[in-house]
Chains A and B, each alone.
Chain A
Amino acid sequence: MRLRGLLLPLVGLAALIGARRWLDAVEVRGRSMAPTLLPGDRLLVARLPARSGDVVVATDPRDPGRELVKRVVALDAFGVTLRGDNPALSTDARDFGAIRAEDVGWRVVGRYWPLERAGRLAAAPPIDDEGGEAACTFPNALIAGS
Chain B
Amino acid sequence: MLTLRSILRPTRIVDAHCDIPCGVYDPEQARIEAESCLRIIEKHDASDDKHFRARCIHVKEERAELVKHHLDVLWHDYFKPEHLEKYPDLHETFWKATKQASKVKQSVDAGAAKELLAMIDTIDEMWKSTGGPEKTRVNGRPS
Contacts and interface: CB of A to CB of B under 8 A. Distances in A.
Contact of B19 (A13, A91, A129): A91
Given A17-B2, A129-B80, A130-B131, A32 B18 contact: yes
Contacts of B46: none
Contacts of B7: 13, 16-17, 25
A24 B38 CA distance: 61
B14 A84 contact: no
A60 B15 contact: yes
Interface size class of B (residues with CB under 8 A): 10 to 19
Contacts of A84: 16, 18
A112 B4 CA distance: 13
B14 A32 contact: no
Given A95-B19, A129-B80, A113 B14 contact: no
Nearest to B76: A95
A130 B8 CA distance: 38
Closest 5 CB pairs of A and B: A27-B10, A30-B16, A33-B16, A69-B14, A30-B17
Nearest to A91: B19
B9 A94 contact: no
Contact of A32 (B2, B16, B82): B16
Interface in A100-146: 112-113, 129-130
B72 to A, nearest CB: 15
Contact of A25 (B2, B8, B15): B8
B40 to A, nearest CB: 35
Interface string A21-49: 00011111111111001010011000000
A28 B2 contact: no
Given A13-B8, A129-B82, A27 B13 contact: yes
Contact of A27 (B2, B14, B17, B81): B14
